[in-house]
Structure 1
Amino acid sequence: MERPPRLKPYGRPKGERRGLVLVYTGDGKGKSTAAFGLALRAHGRGLRVRVFQFIKHEGARFGEHRAFAQLGVPVEGLGDGFTWKSRDLERSRALAYAGWQRAKEALLSGAYDLLVLDEITYPIRYGWVPLGEVLEALKDRPPHVHVVLTGRGAPEALLELADTVTEMRKVKHAFDQGVPAQRGIEH
């Protein structure tokens, strides 16, 4: 057991308030869930939020899509699902790049306060979306725009640019014990 802290463990920050770049990466579960939680928090505070999902397909209706639709938060599926299920990886590449163009336009427009670029690390790692373009757009975005980027294996240059990086680490996972994904919990 430990004693609860009685003194504030940090001083008052002296920096400016500005849009942040947050990266949720690692091999553990929770990257997208954390990003969606942040989107929910931002929406609840009146911020303009938009979500782009680079792996989910355009017509996807997972739990997050249904909840965001009820809240009026736009979610756009930009991919065609898991690559191992794809019948045409060239189509997957084209969808990812076209989706990146839409996301970049929204990012640079200043029309949103928070953009979630969910699972963007995969098309970056596959060479479908150029890392240099992503880094340039992040640097050129309007100063008030916050961006969350998720996915395993975030490139080092993205981690260096980010203001906050959280790495999710798998300690234990039900799937490894033969338990299938649970509707409403894992997809």
Structure 2
Amino acid sequence: MNETHDLPAEDQARHAQKMARKKAARDRMMAQKTGEKGLIIVHTGPGKGKSSSGFGMIMRCIAHEMPCAVVQFIKGAWDTGERRMLTTHFADLCQFHAMGEGFTWETQDKSRDIAAAQAGWNKARDLIRDPEIRMVLLDEVNIALRYGYLDAQEVVDFLESEKPPMTHVVLTGRGAPEVLIDSADLVTEMTMIKHPFKAGIKAQAGVEY
């Protein structure tokens, strides 16, 4: 049985006036935001959700029929859900390039890791230069930058000088360097409050990959 909780007329009127003032202020603020540009977007921090957020934006691009691309720098050896979905169902709109060979402690070969990161960056530059591609997700590239497999200043210089004006580039991974954060238009730091891994729960399909 549903119960209704009707507020007194005076409270309803006060609430309506408050919301009307908020809406008017919001409308004035939004009226001033008319510019558009391709953004440099960074998702970093120790918390979970950096790649997930990036792939969420890729799905938005696909829904708007905007050509996009993904370059995975670390998880290339993983059979992830996002990789299956994009390559199986949306290959016409989203290019997917898995360039990594796994986390650095899995390969245990620094020269291989550097070569894989450089190959990924070379592919990323080609994709970013293409003005038809509206968004490029560089998944876990911040890890490659943190380990020094790629030069952070070189990446920033390229994005500032060669990225087409309306292309969005999303860079994910913990430990994003300050030079990238300073250059970015949008930076989000994921904070870990609680994680099941510490309770002995392994990475699970549909959650982590």
Corresponding residue number in structure 2 for 1:67: 85
Task: Show the 5 A alignment for 1:34-183.
Answer: 34-57=53-76, 60-69=78-87, 70-72=89-91, 73-140=94-161, 141-183=163-205
Is the CA contact 2:69–2:96 (under 8 Å) kept in the aligned structure 1?
A: yes
Name the CA distance, whole Å, in 1 between partners of 2:154 and 2:132.
20
Shift of 1:16: 1.9
Name the CA distance, whole Å, in 2 between partners of 1:87 and 1:19.
37
Name the CA distance, whole Å, in 2 between partners of 1:97 and 1:135.
15
TM-score (norm 2): 0.83
RMSD (CA atoms): 1.7
- The count of residues paired between Structure 1 and Structure 2 equals 184
Query: For the pair shown, which has the larger CA radius of gyration, 1 or 2?
Result: 2
Name the CA distance, whole Å, in 1 between partners of 2:117 and 2:57.
24
Name the CA distance, whole Å, in 2 between partners of 1:126 and 1:27.
16
Q: Gapped runs of 5+ residues in structure 1?
A: none
Name the CA distance, whole Å, in 1 between partners of 2:177 and 2:108.
27
Name the CA distance, whole Å, in 2 between partners of 1:161 and 1:120.
15
Percentage of matched positions with identical amino acids:
40
**Helix, strand or coil for the counterpart of 1:110?**
coil
Shift of 1:41: 0.6
Q: Gapped runs of 5+ residues in structure 2?
A: 1-14
Is the CA contact 2:135–2:168 (under 8 Å) kept in the aligned structure 1?
A: yes
Runs of 4 or more above 3 Å deviation: none
Name the CA distance, whole Å, in 2 between partners of 1:27 and 1:55.
16
Task: For 2:83, give the aligned amino acid.
Answer: H
Is the CA contact 2:74–2:103 (under 8 Å) kept in the aligned structure 1?
A: yes
TM-score (norm 1): 0.92
Shift of 1:30: 0.1
Is the CA contact 1:108–1:137 (under 8 Å) kept in the aligned structure 2?
A: no
Name the CA distance, whole Å, in 2 between partners of 1:92 and 1:159.
24
Shift of 1:74: 1.7
Name the CA distance, whole Å, in 2 between partners of 1:124 and 1:156.
11
More helix by share: 2
**Helix, strand or coil for the counterpart of 1:74?**
strand
